[in-house]
Chain A
Amino acid sequence: MTPSKAVYNGIKDTGIDFIVSVPCLNLRELIPMVDMDPEIIHVPVTREEEGVGICAGAYMGGRRPAILMQNSGLGNSINALASLNLLYGIPLVMIISHRGVEGESICAQVPMGELTTKLLDTLGIPYFLPDSIADAAEDVKMAWGSALDEKMPSAVLLPIPFWRG
């Protein structure tokens, strides 16, 4: 089981059927899996905030939406998460490649890497951190359950060691 396949299985088990994405190197296998799935509407977007808006519309149209992005995109999405999702009570699963942590080789990733959980805590958005590849599918499922129950976004944080398997 590869890390990407484990996350994909979680997406499928959860019935997530609408996904927007902004690429990250760590998402390079997962994004094509989603793109080729006939049961999932996949919309590549130009910026994560835009994707949050598209996902909100998809939820309003009866879909189960998720965004695939790097944690840098969380910073690009803060206002939308607060003044759209939190304001109206709109669920969303954010599947996040968490860069700027253990094993990071690019210094520019580090500031947002260190801020990611603090930003989520400040927003009051719960997040799930799979202990192993085997746990990833269950964590995606729990993230959607949480988003639906709490009527707000939730996140699955997938740091560099996760993608190394």
Chain B
Amino acid sequence: MKRMDAIREISGKAVQSDALIVCNIGIPCKELCNIRDTDSNFYMLGSMGLASSIGLGLALSRPHRKVITIDGDGSVLMNLGSLATIATQAPENYLLVIIDNGSYGSTGDQPTATAKGADLVQLARGAGNSLVREACDHQQLGQALQDMDHGILVVKAEPGNADVPNIAMCPEDILRRFMSGSCQPSD
């Protein structure tokens, strides 16, 4: 499975469940923007490693709104403590999806530690998370997204990037647009 196909599935799930999406730095953001650009998407352009943390803060602040973070293996490896913090908080409205392609895809496809044996499912469980699943193909991903509203889902994907344009919005506009939807008191 290509990462962009996984992101398409996740974006579809977000629309279906009216979820907010926090998306990881680099080409994943561009792929999501290209698939479906909505005001429920937050494109994280910097701060590599912090997508899962931003999503956690958002989920804790909006307990009645579903939040999905799309993260990557290289980024999660940079902020492994986040897996432990997510376990201690375990918000029922927060789903962390880690697309694991064993590769630093936005910087030239250098291999990450998961390409050499590091196991994010075991790391997530070892950090104390009780609901952790793995999806290795398109069908398993669809099923897992149907079953899971919270927890951590590790999706195995092939290395490689789609050829998609840059995001045209400036950071301030990304934030303003996202908050106009995410901050609604009715949430």
List residues of A whose CB falls within 8 A of some B CB. 18, 41, 43-47, 49-63, 65, 79-80, 82-84, 87-90
Contacts and interface: CB of A to CB of B under 8 A. Distances in A.
A84 to B, nearest CB: 4
Given A60-B183, A62-B61, A53 B47 contact: yes
Given A61-B60, A83-B46, 17 more contacts: A41-B61, A43-B56, A43-B60, A46-B82, A50-B82, A56-B50, A57-B53, A58-B58, A60-B42, A60-B57, A61-B58, A61-B61, A61-B182, A63-B57, A65-B57, A88-B172, A89-B171
17 contacts: A41-B61, A43-B56, A43-B60, A46-B81, A46-B82, A50-B50, A52-B47, A53-B79, A56-B53, A60-B61, A60-B178, A61-B183, A62-B61, A79-B46, A84-B50, A88-B175, A89-B171
A72 B134 CA distance: 37
B84 A88 contact: no
B58 to A, nearest CB: 4
A53 B51 CA distance: 7
A87 B172 CA distance: 8
Interface of B: 22, 42, 44-62, 79, 81-82, 84-85, 88-89, 171-172, 174-175, 178-179, 182-183, 185
B25 to A, nearest CB: 9
Given A79-B47, A80-B47, A88-B174, A56 B85 contact: no
A61 B89 CA distance: 16
Contacts of A41: 60-61
A63 B61 contact: yes
A45 B85 CA distance: 6
B64 to A, nearest CB: 11
B88 A44 contact: yes
Contacts of B84: 46
Contact of A57 (B45, B61, B88, B185): B61
A58 B22 CA distance: 12
B53 A53 contact: yes
Contacts of B53: 50-54, 56-57
A39 to B, nearest CB: 13
Contacts of A59: 57
Nearest to A89: B172
Nearest to B58: A57
A60 B175 contact: yes
